[in-house]
A and B are shown apart, each in its own frame.
Chain A
Amino acid sequence: GAVVSQHPSRVICKSGTSVKIECRSLDFQATTMFWYRQFPKQSLMLMATSNEGSKATYEQGVEKDKFLINHASLTLSTLTVTSAHPEDSSFYICSARLTGMNTEAFFGQGTRLTVV
């Protein structure tokens, strides 16, 4: 199956700093990638849809100025958490779907962000 690589797997940062998370599709091109957030023992909440070469589409309630998404190439999308606060601590997961109808989504390994 297709591989999506996410980096870093864990990051600890100080409150007020920014953190960048990378999501790469290793063996396929992804015009669209998705960013999810997962709280402990909870489901995945879609944050935004990342579109190559254009602006991301954010879900209602997600601050686009806080969660900056860049999709500059067909294999790389980045999520930057700006001015991080402890409440931003969470597990962030990216995914991508192969082009074509009814394909499954492939997921990165996730990034555990802890803001102290």
Chain B
Amino acid sequence: AQSVTQLGSHVSVSEGALVLLRCNYSSSVPPYLFWYVQYPNQGLQLLLKYTSAATLVKGINGFEAEFKKSETSFHLTKPSAHMSDAAEYFCAVSDSQAGTALIFGKGTTLSVSS
């Protein structure tokens, strides 16, 4: 079975500081990995996805993530945090088959202080 583990339920950074949100995956097949962001009482918005084309994936709003097979990781980073980045972030995994559900990690709350 596939799963993802997000280390750290809550991350706090100052505005302008580096953002690092951690995600490790477990999969017996080549995984497809995603990062989503959720604002209060809203659905999820895709930040970026890894589909084996390139290990360094760039997403929206300045976020990027690097797939490291040796570490089974897919950590999300952003060089400089903005206040508007404060939200809940979810790492998710699926297999390659079309029509399968994404499995989510427990989420990480990002707080950004001025």
Contacts and interface: CB of A to CB of B under 8 A. Distances in A.
B is a partner of A: yes
Interface of A: 1, 4, 6, 31-32, 34, 41-44, 46, 49, 91, 93, 95, 97, 99-110, 112
Interface stretch (B65-73, B78-86, B98-106): B98-106
Contact of B99 (A4, A32, A93, A109): A32
Contacts of A6: 43
Q: How large is the interface on B (under 10, 10 to 19, 20 to 34, 35 or more residues)?
A: 20 to 34
B63 interface: no
Given A99-B98, A102-B96, 10 more contacts: A6-B43, A42-B107, A43-B106, A46-B103, A49-B101, A100-B98, A102-B32, A109-B42, A109-B43, A110-B43
A34 B43 contact: no
A112 B41 contact: yes
Nearest to B105: A43
B90 A44 contact: yes
Contacts of A112: 41
B44 interface: yes
Given A95-B102, A102-B96, A43 B46 contact: no
Contacts of A109: 42-43
Contact of A93 (B44, B46, B103): B44
B104 A97 contact: no
A34 B104 CA distance: 13
A66 to B, nearest CB: 20
Contacts of A34: 101-102
Contacts of B34: 104-105
Interface string B16-33: 000000000000000010
Contact of B102 (A1, A105, A110): A105
A45 B28 CA distance: 21
Q: Interface centre among A4, A95, A105, A112, by most B CB within 10 Å?
A: A105
